[in-house]
Structure 1
Amino acid sequence: MRHWFKDAHFRSLLKNSGYLAASKAVAAVAGIATLAIAGRGLGVELFGMLILITSYAKAASGLSKFQSWQLIVRYGGQALVTGEHEEFKASTGFAFALDVLSGLGGMLVAVMLLPFIGRWFGIDDRFLWLAMLYCTLLPTMGAATPIGVLRALDRFDLISWQGSGYPIVRAVLSAIAFALDGGFETYVAIWFVTELGGDLYMWFLAWRELRRRGMLEGIRPTLRPEMLPGAWRFAIHVNLTSSLVTAWGPVARLVVGGLLGATGAGLFRVASSLTDSAAKPADLLSKAFYPEVVRMDLKTKKPWNLMLRGTAMAAFASILSVLIILVVGKPLISLLFGKEFIGAYPIILVLIIAPLLAIISFPLPSMLYALDRPDAPLTARLIGTILFFVTVAPLSWSFGVIGAALAFVIGNAATVIVLVFQLFREYRRVRA
């Protein structure tokens, strides 16, 4: 392994993922602490209602928003390597226009639909007004453009600062609410304020970095990216793929809430919060891997070697995390959330397969995007999502929340299998 570290791209991958890892480690601890405090303060049912309200907004954001940061990395990142700042500015302006358009449109649609479909997902009529108010976060939620700017400019350190800041604030405010015996509305307000503050801070960091480098001038919002060939095609494919990815997070929780009630959604969220932590190494590496690989020539061995080395690193960290969760999961749930949440542990035993799948799959979409095949991840996600929705209802009715977790794993497994097949086919074509 010593010769791996002679590769500048591998060192850069480790450095940037290291920044994100430090941030995510803090955020993970703060996030689990926040969920534990809210769970104890609200009880299983109201905690599940909080999860459903926040998941509805995140699902609406995921379904409506373009993952515009990928546009900036795909076009702007390559342009910066050759010193072409104009293309970087054009990609940033296009991404910003997409964020504004999709954010406002998504907010209006989500608010108008909520009174009609809220009951489908288990959202109580008493709290519809809170859910509608929470949806006003959609124009800023996700902060895709500033993340793309900072990743393209190789400022992962700034992203890590933002990523660890607002979870800590949320944990502190939740602890204060718990100590003062705050009600349900108090916890929703805490989620709202910290989400908004975190997103606005990300925009500020990107603006400040652009100003420091003298690159603000010339960035104009536009929906006609004439300098970026194939940008609309790329954006649409990435948007559709990210919409399907949303099915594995907030949409899955909403579906569980609709099928099994707020209590089921709460237990599913507790279980997924712990298993997601085991997938963090792969997730962090994927975010640092994409900006790195778009700068490389995929006809050479270097990007493929980088992919394999990154997978090896993710495997080591993720398998270690999986073993820890399996050993201490049950007492940890009892300690943090209370005995009424102990039913989440059998769900963990099923969901824990998902991080192992993430080890294999984390570099695959990035490689396919770099190969100008944005349709390939979309196809894989579509197949996996269809399989998830086909199986989730019968499995949930038969086995409860464990059945929903099993459907989640089946869908993820199908996605990974299709991604592996597609990338292997592209590898043979490119290397030939």
Structure 2
Amino acid sequence: MSQNRLSRWFSSEDSLVRVFRNSSWLFSAKGIGAVLSIFYLAILTRSLGVAGFGEFMVIVGAIQVLSAILKLQTWQTVVQFGVPFLIAGQHAAFRKLSARSFSIELIGGLVACAALWLMLPHGATQFGWSGTVEQAILGYGVIVFLSVRSTPTGILRAQDRFGGNAFGDAIIPIVRFVGALALFLTRPSMTGFLIVWGLSEFVSFVVMWLMVWRRQDQAPLPQSAITQAAPAPDRKEFAAFLLFTNLAYLISVIRERLVVVIVGFFVGPAAAGLFRLADQLANSLNRLAEVFARPLFAELSRLFATGQSRKSRALFWRSLRVSALSGGVLFLGLLLFGKHIINLISGPEYLAAFPLLLLLGAATIISLAGLGLEPLLQAAGRTRNALLVRLVGLLTLGLLMAFALPASGTIGVAWAMLISAMVTSVMLLVSSRAVISKPQRPVPKLRKP
């Protein structure tokens, strides 16, 4: 009986089962990452201290914000336009799309390298970094910018090969844990941790492309596969989707990373350290949301590409119930065990981060409850709607921070992020009503090969 259930699990074409099956691959990677990140986060916080940890996170956050601004993410574009090619068996067209995405991502990375080289002296003056630390920051940034990881991620997800994607993602926390442990046993320093973080990005980049090249043309087709040729996206459609998805990604990175950089600049490294610790623990919940949301986007794209509107609506409502229930359970866990987790990982000097953890955790869980809304809009071709909602949420956050940061410091920023998350989720729900009631994205017209 159990073997039959296991067989049905791996062979089922039910949309939600497919999402959970692909999520299980990503969850295995995120699960490894979550466990190992607890250990290397403990090493980081205890080795560098509150101020040193905050300074390290300001550096990492600034690099990631710069990457989000200049180095375009292409995985959603590969999935959106590549899935119809794979369904139709047009592997040459899919490879051409992938090569185009690779070039876009690499050019953006080169531009980001030049920008970092120009901006780094100003940051070194602001924080008083030594020449050695400045060189380590430059090296870390170059590795992050030139590691083309988004394109292979899109290739693997479009081909429904989430196992390979999970393996590439799992490499990052493994390398960071091993490197942080080696530093802890020898001589921990800011420079050493930056080298380890850069090495983890590079190894993941190499592994991800090895997984892509391992089976380039093999992609499972669903039972509803169509046989006619799928039309290639025109230049305007491609550019618009790439622009809107990247602006939405940039907004999410600004919310997650730039806020820490701002706290570091205006309040100080120690405050940034406490804020980032709470934010990182809260974002562990966000990682769980990503585990579910990314396969959900791929599956919704597949359903829209084959014109299965009814199934896409059913999948959305089922996923919404699952995510809402999960969010309630996770917040209860934070309320009961959050303070003990902070003390266990980083020690009593970080316990001041507990109120921040509750507020930031609540903000993350509100976003988790509606995690299917943005993938639904993107898969339905309404990336502009999703972007506008994110922009309004970001503007709300900026206005609230302008008042709360001078008056209340980090706790005010945490309240601003919570209110902004509530506004964003409500607006996403309102914007998604038309798609939920009746998806209006036309199925692409097919032409015979």
User: TM-score, structure 1 length as denominator?
Assistant: 0.90
Following superposition, the deviation at residue 162 of structure 1 comes to: 2.0
Indicate the residue corresponding to 1:329 in structure 2: 338
Identity of aligned residues (%): 26
Native 8 Å contact 2:136 2:195 kept in 1 = no
Distance 1:36 1:96, change over 3 A: same
Following superposition, the deviation at residue 157 of structure 1 comes to: 0.8
| 1:207 maps onto 2:216 in alignment | no
Following superposition, the deviation at residue 16 of structure 1 comes to: 0.3
Distance 1:404 1:33, change over 3 A: same
Native 8 Å contact 1:277 1:321 kept in 2 = no
1:75-96 residue CA offsets vs partner (Å, 9 max, x unmatched): 1112211222233223212211
Following superposition, the deviation at residue 212 of structure 1 comes to: 6.7
| 1:425 maps onto 2:434 in alignment | yes
Please give the secondary structure, in 1, of the residue aligned with 2:439.
helix
CA distance in 1 between partners of 2:422 and 2:116 (Å): 30
| 1:49 maps onto 2:55 in alignment | yes
Please give the secondary structure, in 2, of the residue aligned with 1:197.
helix
CA distance in 2 between partners of 1:301 and 1:332 (Å): 43
| 1:96 maps onto 2:105 in alignment | no
1:69-113 residue CA offsets vs partner (Å, 9 max, x unmatched): 111100111221122223322321221111111111112112212
Q: How does 1:31-180 map to 2 (within 5 A)?
A: 31-116=37-122, 123-126=127-130, 127-141=133-147, 143-180=149-186
Following superposition, the deviation at residue 382 of structure 1 comes to: 0.8
Following superposition, the deviation at residue 238 of structure 1 comes to: 1.5
Native 8 Å contact 1:32 1:273 kept in 2 = no
User: How much is the aligned-residue C-alpha RMSD, in angstroms?
Assistant: 2.4
CA distance in 1 between partners of 2:332 and 2:383 (Å): 34
Please give the secondary structure, in 1, of the residue aligned with 2:146.
coil
Indicate the residue corresponding to 1:228 in structure 2: 233
1:268-290 residue CA offsets vs partner (Å, 9 max, x unmatched): 11101211222333221111111
What amino acid is aligned across from residue 128 of structure 2 in structure 1? D
Q: Which moved more, 1:418-427 or 1:246-255?
A: 418-427
| 1:377 maps onto 2:386 in alignment | yes
Indicate the residue corresponding to 1:277 in structure 2: 284
Please give the secondary structure, in 2, of the residue aligned with 1:83.
coil
What amino acid is aligned across from residue 18 of structure 1 in structure 2? S
Native 8 Å contact 2:86 2:94 kept in 1 = yes
| 1:237 maps onto 2:244 in alignment | yes
CA distance in 2 between partners of 1:427 and 1:308 (Å): 9
CA distance in 2 between partners of 1:431 and 1:31 (Å): 42
Indicate the residue corresponding to 2:351 in structure 1: 342
| 1:24 maps onto 2:30 in alignment | yes
Following superposition, the deviation at residue 117 of structure 1 comes to: 5.1
Following superposition, the deviation at residue 142 of structure 1 comes to: 6.3
Please give the secondary structure, in 1, of the residue aligned with 2:232.
coil
Native 8 Å contact 1:299 1:431 kept in 2 = no
CA distance in 1 between partners of 2:346 and 2:430 (Å): 41
Native 8 Å contact 1:90 1:228 kept in 2 = no
Please give the secondary structure, in 2, of the residue aligned with 1:263.
helix
Distance 1:37 1:340, change over 3 A: same
CA distance in 2 between partners of 1:273 and 1:139 (Å): 22
Native 8 Å contact 1:36 1:337 kept in 2 = yes
Following superposition, the deviation at residue 152 of structure 1 comes to: 0.6
Indicate the residue corresponding to 1:401 in structure 2: 410
Matching residue within 244, 261, 264 for 2:271: 264
Provide the aligned length of Structure 1 versus Structure 2.
416
Following superposition, the deviation at residue 366 of structure 1 comes to: 1.5
CA distance in 2 between partners of 1:334 and 1:115 (Å): 36
1:205-240 residue CA offsets vs partner (Å, 9 max, x unmatched): 222231777xxxxxxxxxxxx932211121111222
1:10-50 residue CA offsets vs partner (Å, 9 max, x unmatched): 11111001111121011011112111111111111111111
| 1:248 maps onto 2:252 in alignment | no
CA distance in 1 between partners of 2:259 and 2:217 (Å): 40
Q: Which runs of 5+ in 1 are unaligned?
A: 214-225
Following superposition, the deviation at residue 429 of structure 1 comes to: 5.5
Native 8 Å contact 1:95 1:145 kept in 2 = yes
Distance 1:77 1:299, change over 3 A: closer
1:159-180 residue CA offsets vs partner (Å, 9 max, x unmatched): 1122223312211221221122
What amino acid is aligned across from residue 101 of structure 1 in structure 2? I
Distance 1:285 1:263, change over 3 A: same
User: TM-score, structure 2 length as denominator?
Assistant: 0.87
Native 8 Å contact 1:36 1:336 kept in 2 = yes
CA distance in 2 between partners of 1:281 and 1:192 (Å): 24
Native 8 Å contact 1:66 1:238 kept in 2 = no
Native 8 Å contact 1:253 1:268 kept in 2 = yes
